[in-house]
């Protein structure tokens, strides 16, 4: 409901590579795919929380910009 309220049209998912990450992508995609454009960005790291900011800026931000800007 928050996504609708803020006017979002797209959702970017950057999951961990473990089973929980894969499961989350499946659940979120199943729930939201008819309402939003969904992009899943694959990362090299096992845990998205461990990615240094400079790597996020170098690798992830351009991927988002390429898709949505």
Q: In angstroms, how far is the first alpha carbon of the chain from the final one?
A: 24
Alpha-carbon radius of gyration of the chain: 13
Diameter over CA atoms, the chain:
33
Each of the 69 residues of the chain gets a pLDDT tens digit; together they read 788 899 888 899 999 999 999 999 999 999 999 999 999 998 888 888 999 999 999 989 998 898 776
Considering the entire predicted model, what is its pTM? 0.81
């Amino acid at each position: 409901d928050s996504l609708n309220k803020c006017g979002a049209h797209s959702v970017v998912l950057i999951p961990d590579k473990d089973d929980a990450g894969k499961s989350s992508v499946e659940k979120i995609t199943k729930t939201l795919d008819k309402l939003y454009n969904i992009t899943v960005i694959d990362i090299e790291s096992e845990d998205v929380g461990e990615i240094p900011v400079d790597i996020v800026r170098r690798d992830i931000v351009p991927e988002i910009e390429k898709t949505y800007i």
